[in-house]
Structure 1
């Protein structure tokens, strides 16, 4: 039965498949994004606006370590999807075993280093002045759970590679709901402050991990491992690394972006400007949920059908994914442009932050309707195992365009130079991705 589910990726109509894969993925991303956003609302209203800035300082460090698990998961999932499409189940099992070993080795090592160098890393990421003590409290507790989060991110990608999006969705929903309940108890009821917020987050990682462990131990998964599958195999590790490096590089650039922005904004406007960025960043995570859900749903469909040598189905999946994601993005864009003041007031009542946030939000989201092409276009190359174009396109938006812009424009335009860098980078990277994707489809996905 499990194998039949995987084979359906190459048999069912693309529209139905994309709906089946994307809706659970979108719900999972939505719940996770709501968790992050509501967590920020709780922290802002129950602890204070400086606490929001403190969490924003910690995120790039914890996210980068957790991104190792995500990178290994996404890289391995591409191999697993294509292996299942080619009926090579032994390779799928070996890949999964190697994913687990690599995730544990790398995430535990980096989390340990992160804890050793706490006092150096926090200021480097913008945790200065009044932000430092809040950030240190949150950082130390959250980092204990980051290796577990790495395993969760890795396992979630592997579940989706099997064609089981509903279980992947549940794995994201459970910790999100648990985190919010724990926030209420630990922050509001017990008044643990930043420590309560941190323990709520770490506990949620553990709950999600236990569910994923249950999934792979049950009959729902076809990836049934034996000890022989855990031995690292050079060729598989290399392939996981080359494809996963795309995701890891993207997260590394995200961490660098946070580092730069936290420091630039602190110099230009102090802690309030860092808080404004934290609010906008949470909204960015939240509003992208349908686009990211469609992208995640698209990945196993494209990978499986590419492995099964069905180019027409791959082409159709690309067109449907980009078209549907763009329509949804347009609707979300309209809401943000009309109601930025109301959105900002949900997070805090601080007058300085309420004054700065709406204009920043409008500029940051100005190119939202077109970025679906960039996200799905770069994800396509990862799905089919072409690491180099996937890497370059993934890095283009923030690495090649945004970082240079944000280093230059604030020197001339101050805070406005920071915010205008976002839509400019989105526009340029989307044009580049569109050209590369069109060329790839014309050359390698010819109609029969």
Structure 2
């Protein structure tokens, strides 16, 4: 029988455990976000501001395909955490094997489709005018590596489900550093322009995959799968799909949002507004890294203890995670309210972009202090295997509120209305999530003895 050290998730103090899980996750997300941030700074200063907009246009397609891996990873890892909590080790192994098979099947198929219809997809996602050619160059090369990225995102969530957050952190750190070094080599030294930026990104995916492959082959992993585990099992596929669909829907909505925002902002303000959105989008990925780290650390703890029927520990995990995340989100909010122009100048010296971006950034991050409830609340339902409420809460912010608002508000406030949609949708979705989370805790997580 495989030795399972993940039992620590059900025994150690919640605060201490959350820090142990969240800090490596946060560092990993920080490094990955810094990679994206610095990559954008390099591109903006070495190639031009239009190149920033071009990369932003490509993100929805590549992000959605890679998100298939994340969805399969998060959905399966929720099952793995609960299976380990219930000492059902064979199920955990079977789930992992099915995750690998599903990730390869879906992502390779979508990548081929994306390459065939590149000329149609790029303009549809906002790659118009001067943006089209650099976007097409970047898109074609990056899509070659997206299935590899999907395997990395899937594997990373499984590493966390095993209770090995440090290795999950390393999996994000090594390729991030590699990408920056490759950026310098390909863009600055070899002068490959957009192609150099794309090959650096694709190369970083391969580095990440090699590390994750090493982890699962090494003694550090508890999930030693064999060939029979790769065969698809219908009940397991349905369970992975039901929970993974939540993550996939979230990422699909993100892709749709990019598509709509790029087109709406291009019509309202041209390339300048699309570039401003690209910079703000990078800050959304980077600045909130500690909050996302808390959310990532929360998932395996909640899932394991729910599977072990330690409901008081689940309750405590929810409240502790929200407190930590809210504090960190407030610090992020203060920083971005004070230094938006300085941040913008790191990306570009384009006067028009510098004039527009700081105001947009303040609007976008206006409701940041309250998003902890929204993120942890939706993550809880996913962690405990309740797919439908997790899906609905995941779609609440962008699907139910944000997308309608970016069509309605610009009719009254022009481009300002687009930026106003961010804090309004955050506020409304937080209220909805808080209501359902509070009801769930009262009904299904009644106090029991604390272990």
- If the TM-score is normalised by the length of the shorter chain, which range does it land in? over 0.9
Residue in structure 2 matched with residue 184 of structure 1 by the alignment: 184
2: CA distance, partners of 1:358 / 1:3: 52
1:394 corresponds to 2:394: yes
Residue in structure 2 matched with residue 281 of structure 1 by the alignment: 281
| Runs of at least 5 residues in structure 2 that lack an aligned partner in the other structure | none
Asked if the contact 1:25–1:294 (Cα under 8 Å) also holds between the matched residues in 2, the reply is yes
Residue in structure 2 matched with residue 144 of structure 1 by the alignment: 144
1: CA distance, partners of 2:2 / 2:78: 18
| Runs of at least 5 residues in structure 1 that lack an aligned partner in the other structure | none
2: CA distance, partners of 1:125 / 1:240: 29
Residue in structure 1 matched with residue 440 of structure 2 by the alignment: 440
Residue in structure 2 matched with residue 124 of structure 1 by the alignment: 124
TM-score normalised by L of structure 1: 0.99
Summarize the alignment of residues 286-325 of structure 1 with structure 2, pairs less than 5 Å apart. 286-325=286-325
Q: How far 1:54 sits from its partner (Å)? A: 0.1
Residue in structure 2 matched with residue 5 of structure 1 by the alignment: 5
Asked if the contact 1:80–1:92 (Cα under 8 Å) also holds between the matched residues in 2, the reply is yes
Asked if the contact 1:2–1:221 (Cα under 8 Å) also holds between the matched residues in 2, the reply is no
Residue in structure 1 matched with residue 28 of structure 2 by the alignment: 28
Summarize the alignment of residues 347-358 of structure 1 with structure 2, pairs less than 5 Å apart. 347-358=347-358
Residue in structure 2 matched with residue 339 of structure 1 by the alignment: 339
Residue in structure 1 matched with residue 14 of structure 2 by the alignment: 14
Residue in structure 2 matched with residue 406 of structure 1 by the alignment: 406
TM-score normalised by L of structure 2: 0.99
| 3-state DSSP of counterpart to 1:87 | coil
1: CA distance, partners of 2:279 / 2:324: 27
2: CA distance, partners of 1:356 / 1:147: 36
**What RMSD over aligned residues (CA atoms) do the two structures have, in Å?**
0.8
Give every structure 1 segment of 4 or more consecutive aligned residues whose post-TM-superposition deviation is greater than 6 Å: none
2: CA distance, partners of 1:308 / 1:133: 54
2: CA distance, partners of 1:20 / 1:3: 20
Residue in structure 2 matched with residue 380 of structure 1 by the alignment: 380
1: CA distance, partners of 2:252 / 2:281: 16
2: CA distance, partners of 1:204 / 1:332: 28
1: CA distance, partners of 2:74 / 2:2: 20
Asked if the contact 2:73–2:244 (Cα under 8 Å) also holds between the matched residues in 1, the reply is yes
Q: How far 1:227 sits from its partner (Å)? A: 1.0
Q: How far 1:4 sits from its partner (Å)? A: 4.5
Aligned residues: 448
1:99 corresponds to 2:99: yes
Summarize the alignment of residues 39-54 of structure 1 with structure 2, pairs less than 5 Å apart. 39-54=39-54
Residue in structure 1 matched with residue 206 of structure 2 by the alignment: 206
